[in-house]
Amino acid sequence: MLIYSPELSPRFNYILELIFGKLLGISYRTTNIKEEIIHHEGPCLNYSMTDIEGLPFLRASGLLYEREIIDQKKSLGAVFTWKNMPVFYPAGEPSILPFDIFAASFYMVARYEEYLPFEADEHNRFHSGESIAFHNGFLDQPIINQWALQFGKELTRIFSGNIQINPLEYQFKPTIDIDNAWAFLNKGLWRSMGALLRPGQSMAERNYRFQVWRKKQPDPFDQYEFIRQLMHSHQLDPIFFFLVGPYGPYDRNVSPANSGFKRLVRSLASEFRLGIHPSYNSNSSAAQIQKEIDILAHLSGKEITDSRQHFLKVHLPHTYSIIDNLGIKNDYSMGYADRVGFRAGIANPFRFFDLENNTSTDLVVHPFQVMDITLQEYLKMEPKEALDTISQLVSTIKDVGGTFNCLWHNESLGEWKHWTGWSGVFREMLEIAG
């Protein structure tokens, strides 16, 4: 298929690669020579601001030809409905679609709104309440996938089956964050004594802590054998993200110098992929992230090319630029802490586009759709309601050939305190998503 555009900009090339190359699997090439598309025999598309008589026309909004980051309210327009889906960047007649699917998809997947002024949350993050998806009720939809599949149907109709669509197949990728490897064990004398003497604890909790220290009870966060068995029985390939940064208010894992921690890392590395979980205070420090990558690489004996930001602290483009320059190839931070759904509007991995430099990068972003803490702590769900939510997400993702990517913690599997019943949610989720 030949696609004409008067300007073959980085943004234009990027979004065509995503929609045609990845989501629809349509072979295509581009041209900026008008005469070439006029005389082309076979399927073609005119993507520009001007109709060419006799050729399928998709009106361009102009976003993909811009080089700066500017307010999009005027060209984005009010969200309206097409084929029961919310759309924006209206195109009007005689465009074959009533909206600029390329601009709308680029706006979502490049996270354009995160570059514009917004009100951050307590951790200085862009949160769901600031997003166009939340305000217009489509955060629970992989809207880019849905647009692309309907676009594919339209093209098939226009060209009477003379193009071949090869959509993606559903996949499942479980991931585990190890923010705190143990609740009570391997913390060292001073941390252990400080925790024991901390006010507000019940006698039962103190007794339980003593039982764990004396090996009469298992540590509630020590769920690694439980996870290992489930992953092998379901033939899954999880990624474990380890926090190895220095101790702080939000970074409370066991010291990487601890012998028990070293054994845990080596044990999991012998069977599964490991990724770095850059510490809360490392977010703007390339040197600190590099140090933590080096620590985990040394402990595991493996190259570390995957990452997920602790507390999901992603500041675009800086966070991604830093880890890309440090050799990280895959990031799994693209999701919201406060709500489930599709932060980037897509259910598949995609390459990060750096809007500040107006260029595509090699860093692959793997969006996740659901996190245990979101369900239990932010949304206050009971296990049954959480499973219903997960089931609906999985069904939606299967419908579009996406990847269900979940974020879980070892802490939520120990049936301890407010996590009672949640190991069953995890086990059932693996059944639903498999």
Asked if the model's pLDDT at residue 311 lies above 80, the reply is yes
Nearest to residue 370, comparing CAs of 227, 173, 230? 173
Domain boundaries, given as residue ranges, for the chain: 2-158, 171-183+219-433
Higher-pLDDT residue of 215, 399: 399
In three-state secondary structure terms, 332 is coil
Kindly indicate the confidence band of residue 201, based on its pLDDT and cuts at 50, 70 and 90.
low
Identify whether the C-beta of residue 111 lies closer than 8 Å to the C-beta of residue 129: no
**Is residue 62 within 8 Å of 37, Cβ to Cβ?**
no
Structure tokens at 222: 């020590």
Return phi, psi of residue 404, to 5°: -80, 115
Average pLDDT, the chain: 94
Q: How confident is the model at residue 401 (pLDDT cuts 50, 70, 90)?
A: very high
Whether the per-residue pLDDT at 306 is higher than 80: the answer is yes
What CATH number does the domain located at 171-183+219-433 have? 3.20.20.370
Give the pLDDT confidence of 146-198 residue by residue, as tens digits. 999 999 999 999 998 789 999 999 999 999 999 999 988 877 655 555 555 56
pLDDT in tens, 257-280: 999 999 999 999 999 999 999 999
Distances (CA, A) of 191 to 17, 184, 291, 315: 51, 9, 24, 32
Angle of the 224-233 helix axis to the 259-269 helix axis, nearest 10: 0
What element of type H or E holds 150?
helix 143-158
pLDDT, mean of residues 322-339? 98
Q: Does the global pTM surpass 0.75?
A: yes
Using the Cα atoms of residue 4, residue 10, residue 11 and residue 15 in order, give the sign of their dihedral.
positive
Residue written as tokens 């990728």? 173
Interval 317-328: pLDDT, tens: 999 999 999 999
pLDDT in tens, 60-110: 999 999 999 999 999 999 999 999 999 999 999 999 999 999 999 999 999
